[in-house]
Structure 1
Amino acid sequence: MSEDGVVIIGTGMHPWGKWGRDFTEYGVAAARAALADAGVDRTDIGFLAGAGTIRNGYPGFVAGAAIARALGWSGERVTTSYAACASGAHAIGAARAQILAGLCDIALVVGADSAPKGFFAPVGGERPGDPDWLRFRVLGATNPVYFALAARRRMAVRGAKAADFAAVKVKNSRHGAANPHARYRAEVTAEQVLASPVVADPLRLLDICATSDGAAAVVLTGRDRARRLGREGVGLAAVATVSPRFPEPDLAMPDFATDSRIAAEPPDVPFRAAVARAAYEEAGVGPGDLDLAEVYDLSTAMELDWYEDIGLCPPGGAEALLHDGATAIGGRIPVNPSGGLASFGEAVPAQAIAQVCELARQVGGRAGPRQIEGARVGIAVNQGLFGHGSAVVVRG
């Protein structure tokens, strides 16, 4: 991206937890924190992008307007992006586009959630076009079952062991212990992970993420405007939200169980790897340029898959990369220095924004006790249903 591109000048979060209050309360707290961090007023915002959530009723469907109203209407342009677990990154992309188009000077992006207790379930009654509904109805599979199938595949194809999965949790719990916004801040041992109850074999309770309340926000502006405000900011070098390529199976299709295209040859580059590649190309960097990564660790096994998807190691190399200490703070390429979803849990509309908050603070040298020395380039990757991938590159 050129020197007159978009920069992040403020980040803010509401701590993750479980309080059961209205999601806008969390979103307002995160937004105000981001505005204060940026040194701008609410009335300076020309565009507000909200990340949507179907689990908070109609206000969740129109999260941008709901949060703008809770902050106090200010006449700005408003939009809402719903892209399942990638909603936050899509909202960031919408705000960045407004700035690049010259339609606003300063934008605010907010994601917040008040999650129900227990595992996520489909909402809204009979929804045969909803892959969540189909998975429950056809397979009887909650999210942990879905995660476990992927973990079992990794064990079969890559030779992963339960001890490898446990080591991911140990690392992330160590990182999360230093993050004041994390829900779980106690370090755990591999023995504790392996002794926790089995939820969906081979995954145990401490291998999977919780559902959480929480919020995150960022303030964006152009680089020239940032300097006029006395802020250098960190560069938003890429926001890739590409979709899968034919004939890669799309589980969002109502007839996914019988779709004949599944028998066709898949694309040369799998979907998640393609999302990361698109971000690298846009930012003009590669995996070797990274100083850190925030990846979508719905399960410990999934984090290992992401190492390979984003090019940190060749296929089958994730376990060795982990055990060498490369992905811990102090290693060659720290992954999830925030603590990841292992330490936060899922607050669906907020999590991709929270990842970008971590990148911005690391690259800006403001991550406190979990600061990665010399961090200059980071990537955050995420994936939601219906082919919603996202990869965001932040560069100092």
Structure 2
Amino acid sequence: MSEQVWIAGVGMTRFARHDGRGVPDLAAEAVREALADAGLERRHVEAAFFGNTTQGALQGQLMVGGQIALRGMGFERIPMYNVENACATGASALHLAADQVRAGAVDIALAVGSEKMNVADRDRTMAVFEGAYDVSDPAGLTASLTALGGEVDDAHAGRRSVFMDIYAAMARAHMRRFGTTQRQFAAVSAKNHRHSVHNPRAQHRKDFTVDEVLAARALSFPLTVPMCAPVTDGAAAVVVCGQRGLRRLVGRGRSVRVLANVAGTGVVRAQDAWEQHISGLLAGRAYERAGVGPQDIDVAELHDATAFGEIQQCELLGLCEPGAGGAAAEAGETALGGRIPVNPSGGLEAKGHPLGATGLAQVYELVQQLRGEAGVRQVSGARVALAENSGGFYGGEEAVAAITVLGA
């Protein structure tokens, strides 16, 4: 029988532009907070999984980044694994840590993600995203985007990563199929920025109206700047333990149960085969393992690298009907106080998106929610929470997705 898995402690830095700080320094802050939150010491950790996506390209640390960051803060002898899975890196590190505990290999494991993405040459940062699709087939990317979103003249649009073009093409496909409007994307963005005002660790804490989002600088249609995640530095960490590890905790009553964690890749499919999208396929598996359904989810943190991403994932995960995500956001159903609050942290659009830390930061927020410790952002009576973290692009959809279901 496999071990039950618990999240014993969480920590994260503020997500921001951290001039003068590097990947190891940011990681250390998050790890120290996670250990203190769990009531554990460094010596209790038996394995570590370190998530990072950009350090090789931006700082030249092509290998052993985790060993350098973690041994530098005093971790010794334990196995350390470096994890890269595009924007789903943080969730992947957590899933590997949880699997190690579930298998009984260790009692306590650490997952940490840390990124330093703001460097002097912004073009180098933007170039990092070019490595998250099949670089051997750039014509294939162009063909996929044209098939999804048609040909668009966006020569006038501002500087952006290629993933804003990818999300924009997917958004236009959604608009064409379901009648989703740009104003509905703006409603998602305004909602998440409103949530972020109450999150002291968010990169942006400015309230926007729907009209202000629409009037902001255009990127690739239908996206404007507030609809898109910023370039962010930051780190987050999660301490995972099994039953034996749980007995070591002083504050074990604050631990949160991992009901399910699943990850996967897509299938060969037609671009319009919505029912075969990677997140939809994984959602069924996650709900089955967790013993819950979408109707049981009280709060969710979804991968809104753009506002469209939140609408798409709400539908694929069954939190609303296909094609109804935009209307749900416009009606306030996904806001705090609504039927299913989504991204109370502010989401990637406002909280920030340091790629390797993002999935763990989602879990940080949900653990706070399930403990009843989220303050003004608290979802009343939250008992079951879901995080979806995805990244890369392949075959007309995300190259990887990861779903985590947590229970109080």
Asked if Structure 1 and Structure 2 have the same fold, meaning a TM-score greater than 0.5 normalized by the shorter chain, the answer is: yes
Match of residue 70 from structure 2: 68
SS at match of 2:389: strand
Alignment of 1:201-280 (within 5 A): 201-230=221-250, 231-232=252-253, 233-245=255-267, 247-248=268-269, 266=273, 268-280=275-287
Q: CA 1:102–1:28 in structure 2 vs 1: closer, same or farther (change >3 Å)? A: same
Question: Residues 12 and 218 of structure 1 are in contact (CA less than 8 Å); yes or no, is this contact kept in structure 2?
Answer: yes
Cα distance, 1:202 vs structure 2 = 1.5
Q: Report percent identity of matched pairs.
A: 35
Aligned pairs, how many? 378
More displaced 10-residue stretch of structure 1: 269-278 or 58-67? 58-67
Note if 1:131 corresponds to 2:130: no
Note if 1:304 corresponds to 2:324: no
Cα distance, 1:193 vs structure 2 = 0.8
Q: C-alpha deviations, 1:38-87, integer Å up to 9, x for none? A: 11011111111111324444546434323212212322121122111111
Note if 1:6 corresponds to 2:5: yes
**Counterpart-to-counterpart distance in 2, 1:62 and 1:54:** 13
More displaced 10-residue stretch of structure 1: 227-236 or 112-121? 112-121
Cα distance, 1:32 vs structure 2 = 0.5
Q: CA 1:136–1:107 in structure 2 vs 1: closer, same or farther (change >3 Å)? A: farther
**Counterpart-to-counterpart distance in 2, 1:347 and 1:136:** 28
SS at match of 1:76: coil
Note if 1:379 corresponds to 2:386: yes
Q: C-alpha deviations, 1:242-287, integer Å up to 9, x for none? A: 2223x23xxxxxxxxxxxxx59x95853211112222111111110
SS at match of 1:199: coil
Alignment of 1:162-177 (within 5 A): 162-177=182-197
Q: C-alpha deviations, 1:338-390, integer Å up to 9, x for none? A: 11001122200000111111111111111121111110101111212263210
- Structure 1 residue runs without a partner (length 5+): 249-261
Cα distance, 1:313 vs structure 2 = 1.2
Alignment of 1:150-161 (within 5 A): 150-161=170-181
Question: Residues 170 and 187 of structure 1 are in contact (CA less than 8 Å); yes or no, is this contact kept in structure 2?
Answer: yes
**Counterpart-to-counterpart distance in 1, 2:289 and 2:116:** 34
Q: CA 1:332–1:267 in structure 2 vs 1: closer, same or farther (change >3 Å)? A: closer
Cα distance, 1:136 vs structure 2 = 9.1
Match of residue 16 from structure 2: 17
- Structure 2 residue runs without a partner (length 5+): 143-154, 156-160
More displaced 10-residue stretch of structure 1: 160-169 or 290-299? 160-169
Match of residue 253 from structure 1: none
Which one of the candidate residues 78, 81, 98 is aligned to 1:79? 81
Alignment of 1:308-387 (within 5 A): 308-385=315-392, 387=399
Q: CA 1:88–1:173 in structure 2 vs 1: closer, same or farther (change >3 Å)? A: same
**Counterpart-to-counterpart distance in 2, 1:47 and 1:321:** 42
Note if 1:389 corresponds to 2:396: no
Letter in 2 for 1:25: D
Match of residue 298 from structure 2: 291
**Counterpart-to-counterpart distance in 2, 1:290 and 1:60:** 39
Q: What TM-score does the superposition give when structure 1 sets the normalisation length?
A: 0.89
